[in-house]
A and B are shown apart, each in its own frame.
Chain A
Amino acid sequence: MNEVLFSNEVIVYLLAESILFVLLLVALVVSLKVMFKWDFEKFTPYQFALERQAYLVSTIILLVFAMKFLLIVYFIFSIDALSLIVPGAMCAAGVITANEYGSFLLILKLIILLFLTLWLYVHFYDMHTKNHRWFKEKSWLFSFIFLLILLEFGLDFAYFSDINIHQPVSCCSALFGQLEGANPLPFGLNITFLLVLYYLLYALVMLSIKTKQTVLYIVSNILFIYIAYYAVVYFFGTYVYQLPTHKCPFCMFQVEYLYVGYLLWGSLFLGTYMGLSNAITTLWLKQSHDASQKSVLYLLSFFVLACTAYVAVYYIKNGVLL
Chain B
Amino acid sequence: MRGHVMRGDVMISNEMIQIENLNRTFHHAGNEVPVLKEINLDIQEGACVILKGVSGSGKTTLLSLIAGLDKPSSGKVLIEGEPISKLPDLFASELRAKKIGMIFQHFNLFDHLNVSENVTIPLIPSGLTMKEIEQKVDVALNLANISHKKETEASRLSGGEKQRTAIARALVAGPNIILCDEPTANLDRDNSLLFIEILKDLHALGKTIVIATHDPLFDTLSFESTIVPMFDGRIV
Say if the beta carbon of B91 comes within 8 Å of chain A.
yes
The interface stretch among A126-134, A152-160, A212-220, A313-321 is A126-134
B23–A45 contact, CB under 8 A? yes
* Interface range for B: 10 to 19
Give B35-54 as 1s and 0s: 1 = Cβ < 8 Å from A's Cβ atoms.
00000000000000000000
A43–B71 contact, CB under 8 A? no
A127 nearest CB neighbor, chain B only = B88
B73–A43 contact, CB under 8 A? no
Please give, as numbers and ranges, the residues of chain B lying within 8 Å of A45 by CB-CB distance: 23, 73-74
Please give, as numbers and ranges, the residues of chain A lying within 8 Å of B21 by CB-CB distance: 43
Q: Considering only CB atoms and an 8 Å cut-off, how many residues of chain A contact the other chain?
A: 13
A40–B86 contact, CB under 8 A? yes
Cα–Cα distance between A241 and B22 once the two chains are bound (Å): 69
Cα–Cα distance between A132 and B86 once the two chains are bound (Å): 10
Say if the beta carbon of B174 comes within 8 Å of chain A.
no
Q: A43-B21, A43-B76 are in contact. Are A48 and B71 (CB under 8 A)?
A: yes
Please give, as numbers and ranges, the residues of chain A lying within 8 Å of B76 by CB-CB distance: 43
Within 8 A of A (CB), among B75-124: 75-76, 83, 85-88, 90-91
Say if the beta carbon of B72 comes within 8 Å of chain A.
yes
Please give, as numbers and ranges, the residues of chain A lying within 8 Å of B71 by CB-CB distance: 48, 51-52
A130–B87 contact, CB under 8 A? yes
Please give, as numbers and ranges, the residues of chain B lying within 8 Å of A132 by CB-CB distance: 88
Shortest distance between the CB of A37 and any CB in chain B (Å): 15
Q: Which of A48, A51, A52, A130 contacts B91 (CB 8 A)?
A: A130
Say if the beta carbon of A44 comes within 8 Å of chain B.
yes
Q: A43-B21, A45-B23 are in contact. Are A130 and B88 (CB under 8 A)?
A: yes
Please give, as numbers and ranges, the residues of chain A lying within 8 Å of B74 by CB-CB distance: 43-45, 48
Shortest distance between the CB of B221 and any CB in chain A (Å): 33
B86–A43 contact, CB under 8 A? yes
Give A37-72 as 1s and 0s: 1 = Cβ < 8 Å from B's Cβ atoms.
000100111001001100000000000000000000
- Give A residues with C-beta under 8 Å from B: 40, 43-45, 48, 51-52, 127-132
List, sorted by A's number, 21 A–B pairs whose CB atoms are closer than 8 Å: A43-B20, A43-B21, A43-B74, A43-B76, A43-B83, A43-B85, A44-B74, A45-B23, A45-B73, A45-B74, A48-B72, A48-B73, A48-B74, A51-B71, A127-B88, A127-B90, A128-B90, A130-B87, A130-B88, A130-B91, A131-B86
Rank and list the top 4 A-B pairs by shortest CB-CB distance, nearest first: A45-B74, A43-B76, A45-B73, A130-B91
